[in-house]
Amino acid sequence: MAIRRTDLLRTLATVFLLLCPMAIAICRISMAAFDVERIAPNPGYRVSLRVFFETPSDTVRVRAHLPQNEPNLILGTRWTDTDLANSDEVYRGGNRRWEWWGETEGRGKVETSFTAIAKNVTYEIAPSFRVPGSLSDPTLPFLESTETIQVDHPAIAALAEELAPRGAPAADALARIYDFCGGLPELGTSEHPGLVVAEDAVGTLEALEGTALGKARLFAALVRHQGFPARMVHGLVMEPGPDRNATSWVEVRLGPSWVPFCIDEDLFARTDGRLVPFCRGDVRLVEANPIHTSKVHFDVARTFGVRGRLIEGSEKAASSWLGVWGALEESGIPLNILCLLLMIPFGAFICVVIRNLLGLRTFGFFLPMLIAIGATHSGLPWALAAFLIVNGWVYLFRFAAEPLRLLHYPKVAVILTSTVGAVLGLAAIGAVFGNVNLAHVTFLPIVVLTFATEQFSTIMEEEGPREVLKVIVMTLIGISLAYFVMSSQSMQRFALTFPESVLILVLFDVLIGSWTGVRLLEYIRFRRLLSPEPAVTHV
Amino acid sequence: MSNGMTSPLVGQEPHGILGINRRNRIIDELNPRRHRPLADDKILTKEILASHGVPVAETYGVVASMGEVRRIERIIGDREHFVIKPARGRAGFGIAVLGPKQDGGWKGPSPENLWQERDIRRRLGDILSGDYARRTRDRALIEERLFPGSILGNLQVIGLPDIRIITLDGNPMMGMVRLPTKQSGGKANLHLGAIGVGIDLETGRSTSASSRNGCLTHHPESHERLAGLPVASWDLVMETTRAVARALPLRYLGIDIAIAQDQKPVVLEVNVRPGLEIQNVNQRGLRIEVDRILTGPAAGDNGVVA
């Protein structure tokens, strides 16, 4: 039998698709002296602060403490959009405070965002450090008793002496104080908006429960009492998602270093690259004045440092693609869009695996990938919920529109319009309750979703509700798989480091496209044919 | 993959399952796209089959445009029974089986339903605008209504049961009888709950049966035994099957044949993408047979896929 031309072409394609990206990658790594870190972008976070206010007619003043470059924190260029005319920057007490002000009427906002790369640091507390003992010098700024950190309160003093006796090893003593504060039940301020919660050290100790701020203050009071200089830090935990809460932690001076202790995130004498300090001392993170109505949001999204300060100092090699990504970012293509673009071949590959290897049947071949893209902002549960809600809505609406007996495309246009209405409705409801996650997911794939429900009704009609249910479950699985791959930061980092790897994906697509074996789920579907007695062959 | 020495249509797995991936490849290579309309469009199929002397239901007329809807009166004439079908409908949707005449209308699909002429015109309009043909414009076929004979032994039937035979290069590979049930709404659609009865192609007798709920020995509604029954006019059915395969320039086919009241086979339609559930019904895989035909000396006219 002659070798088929198709086979020859496939072999050639396989060799090319395998060798080409590998050769390019090896070449580039060798140019970077075999240090992959030198061609990889640094993972970091995009932080946005948004302050909305409403005033009849007044001078509005918004003050916000913003992070500054420090040894363990590198910041990218900040970008601001505001309705207020003036701005100013002041340094006070080691903090950098921005102030925006102006005459304004009605609604307005201040929005500022920047990229932050926080380093991962773990401190080891030397055994030679001992507890200095109570109030070695109460006039020093980081040892003093304040209104909220009542170092000299008898209850604080008694507990501090008990947990950290003078001369005990500092590491053990700090651990005992940390465990005590961390062991108190959590009291969220957001869940009890009407409730006044004591957030000072003594209040937290007396209630034996507290907020993150209250526990941090209690921790500060206890360590200060035993002679460790300690200061409050207010900042943000880099947990991707919209509308993150600010948190507080404590830094304790041990030898030459300020060592962080974050009870809220369970970080004892370490940071994990997610703590970004905004300001230190007992100051407010954000203030709007006069506060008629103001809302403060912090949004956090994963990103990478590809230009400017974010790659300086780390000696990125010329053979990295960072120059290209940086140039694209400068010319107005946001890095997150670029990342998603690079993730699309991966998502498409996942869709191929889902269909041709696993045999999952999903609504719309690429729908799992598109929903997964929509979900990168809000997280997976919202994506699954949004998919179900919008799907249900379209199905109901289609049902309702059936008596109109419309021709196909005008009908789809009507349904699409109604879907837009539904998604906007979700967004509006979300905005009222301060959660637009649901709407976020469906903004992008709305058209595909509408067409997918088209398939939904076809399957309902031709194969019955049981099959529809199966397909819905499989679609949810597909969305989850695509999401885990596409939103994975290491995957994105890999793609930004080795964009030539898409050729390998094409190779995999070619291999799967040439493979004609039995799909995984077909083994279940035809399990009766796999039974021990050999299948009767018909000769 | 690119093995070079074997056709990718031939598999190596030990079991005999023909999966969707391989079926799609077979369809891709053996059923050329340009010829598929011959099977996808019932009007074209009937034309070509009739010209080869294959028995099909008598065509009363074709309505190809809205302007022609008016002709329906003349097409129906004073016929008691007829069927309206979308030429490119899927899975039996859009088909209206009408008759007998009653109070100036026709008895419709469900018992208490009486179709007037405007109902017929509306259905024709739906068909023409592509409601049943995946959004492409379509034609409507008005043809003879087939009354079922006894297809499998003396089994009682509802709806119009049919015989599905899969052929490759003119070789019948596997067959089943599809019995509509009350659950399937009288449709011969396994997904909707119709029963599939496997057939031994050599003897023309039923071997095994299953529905979407699993294996069956007896009919779940009439409780009659399903195995060991003879398929009516089996030799004629096989002859018809081969004639259909010869008439069409397509090499992998699912041929649907009904047994009419005179116990003669009539071809209902031909599928270029026949489903794989037939393997579960027969409790046997299709792949070994496919491999044998594609590589063996008994390969069809076009030889091995090479």
Mean pLDDT score across all residues of chain B: 85
In angstroms, rounded to a whole number, what is the distance separating the alpha carbons of residues A214 and A223?
Answer: 14
- Under DSSP, the state recorded for A114 is E
Query: Are A384 and A514 in the same domain?
Result: no
Domain of residue A106 covers 43-119+288-305
Residue B76: pLDDT above 80? yes
Fold of B33-40+148-295: D-amino Acid Aminotransferase; Chain A, domain 1 (3.30.470)
Asked if residue A299 belongs to a domain, the reply is yes
Mean pLDDT to the nearest integer, B273-281: 92
* Least confident stretch, A307-316, B158-167, B175-184, B259-268: A307-316
- CB distance from B136 to chain A under 8 Å? no
Asked if residue A531 belongs to a domain, the reply is no
- Strand B162-168 with B171-179, pairing: antiparallel
Query: Are A344 and A434 in the same domain?
Result: yes
Only one residue has tokens 């018909």, namely A538
Domains: count for chain A: 4
Confidence bin at B144 (pLDDT 50/70/90) = very high
Number of C-beta neighbours around residue B249 at 10 A? 14
Confidence bin at B14 (pLDDT 50/70/90) = low
Mean pLDDT to the nearest integer, B250-258: 94
Asked if residue A529 belongs to a domain, the reply is no
Confidence bin at B248 (pLDDT 50/70/90) = very high
Query: Are A424 and A350 in the same domain?
Result: yes
User: CB burial class (10 A; 0-12, 13-18, 19+) of residue A131?
Assistant: buried
CA distances from A394 to A270, A271, A382, A458, B3 (A): 49, 46, 18, 13, 47
Mean pLDDT to the nearest integer, B249-254: 94
Query: Are A379 and A457 in the same domain?
Result: yes
Tell me if residue A397 falls in helix, strand or coil: helix
In sequence order, what are the residues at sequence separation of 6 or more whose Cβ sits closer than 8 angstroms to the Cβ of residue A165? A131, A173
Beta-carbon separation of A517 and B16 below 8 A: no
Residue A538: pLDDT above 80? no
Residues of A in contact with B192 (CB under 8 A): 462-464
Query: Are A374 and A475 in the same domain?
Result: yes
Cα torsion A496, A500, A502, A504 to 10°: value is -130
pLDDT digits (tens, 9 = 90+) for A456-486: 777 877 777 888 899 999 999 999 999 999 9
Number of C-beta neighbours around residue A276 at 10 A? 23
In angstroms, rounded to a whole number, what is the distance separating the alpha carbons of residues B265 and B151?
Answer: 10
Residue A212: pLDDT above 60? yes
Query: Which of A293-302, A318-327, A408-417, A511-520 holds the top average pLDDT?
Result: A511-520
User: CB burial class (10 A; 0-12, 13-18, 19+) of residue A377?
Assistant: buried
Asked if residue A354 belongs to a domain, the reply is yes
- CB distance from B271 to chain A under 8 Å? no
Pick from B90, B193, B288: which is nearest to A537 by CB? B288
Pick from A407, A461, A514: which is nearest to B93 by CB? A461
Q: Reply yes or no on domain B58-143 having CATH 3.30.70.
A: no
In angstroms, rounded to a whole number, what is the distance separating the alpha carbons of residues A148 and A137?
Answer: 19
Chains A–B, number of C-beta pairs less than 8 Å apart:
112
Mean pLDDT to the nearest integer, B124-153: 85
* The two structure tokens encoding residue A418: 């109604």
Residue A428: pLDDT above 90? no
Mean pLDDT score across all residues of chain A: 85
What ipTM does this complex have? 0.82
Q: Domain holding A114: CATH number?
A: 2.60.40.2250
Mean pLDDT to the nearest integer, B78-96: 85
Query: Are A384 and A505 in the same domain?
Result: no
pLDDT of residue B267: 95
Asked if residue A250 belongs to a domain, the reply is yes
pLDDT digits (tens, 9 = 90+) for B145-160: 999 988 998 888 888 8
- CB distance from B66 to chain A under 8 Å? no
Beta-carbon separation of A537 and B306 below 8 A: no
Only one residue has tokens 């709305």, namely A446
Nearest CA in chain A to B89: A462
Mean pLDDT to the nearest integer, B77-98: 85
Query: Are A53 and A172 in the same domain?
Result: no
pLDDT of residue A138: 61
pLDDT of residue A349: 95
Residues of A in contact with B174 (CB under 8 A): 538
In angstroms, rounded to a whole number, what is the distance separating the alpha carbons of residues A477 and A353?
Answer: 12
In angstroms, rounded to a whole number, what is the distance separating the alpha carbons of residues A458 and B132?
Answer: 10
Beta-carbon separation of B192 and A463 below 8 A: yes
Locate the domains of chain B by residue range.
Answer: 33-40+148-295, 58-143
pLDDT of residue A263: 93
- Under DSSP, the state recorded for A3 is P
- Under 8 Å between Cβ of A321 and A499: yes
Among A526, A527, A539, the strongest candidate for a mutation testing the B interface, having the largest count of B CBs within 10 A, is A526
Rg, Å, chain A Cα set: 29
In angstroms, rounded to a whole number, what is the distance separating the alpha carbons of residues B31 and B250?
Answer: 5
pLDDT of residue A1: 43
Residue B10: pLDDT above 60? no
Q: Give me the percent of chain A exceeding a pLDDT of 70.
A: 91
Tell me if residue A304 falls in helix, strand or coil: strand
Query: Are A393 and A404 in the same domain?
Result: yes
Length of chain A: 539
pLDDT digits (tens, 9 = 90+) for A50-100: 888 887 767 888 889 999 988 888 888 888 888 888 899 898 888 999 999
pLDDT of residue B304: 40
Query: Are A257 and A180 in the same domain?
Result: yes
The separation between CA A104 and the C-alpha centre of its own chain, rounded to angstroms, equals: 34
Residues of B in contact with A537 (CB under 8 A): 16, 284, 288-289
- Under DSSP, the state recorded for A272 is -
Query: Are A408 and A443 in the same domain?
Result: yes
Asked if residue A513 belongs to a domain, the reply is yes
Q: Domain holding A242: CATH number?
A: 3.10.620.30
The separation between CA B1 and the C-alpha centre of its own chain, rounded to angstroms, equals: 33
Query: Are A355 and A427 in the same domain?
Result: yes
Asked if residue A536 belongs to a domain, the reply is no
What are residue B53's DSSP bridge partners? none
Pick from B8, B189, B276: which is nearest to A514 by CB? B8
Only one residue has tokens 């037939």, namely B278
- Under DSSP, the state recorded for A278 is E
Residues of B in contact with A520 (CB under 8 A): none
Beta-carbon separation of A462 and B11 below 8 A: no
Q: Give me the percent of chain B exceeding a pLDDT of 70.
A: 91
Beta-carbon separation of B4 and A3 below 8 A: yes
The separation between CA A300 and the C-alpha centre of its own chain, rounded to angstroms, equals: 6
Asked if residue A27 belongs to a domain, the reply is yes
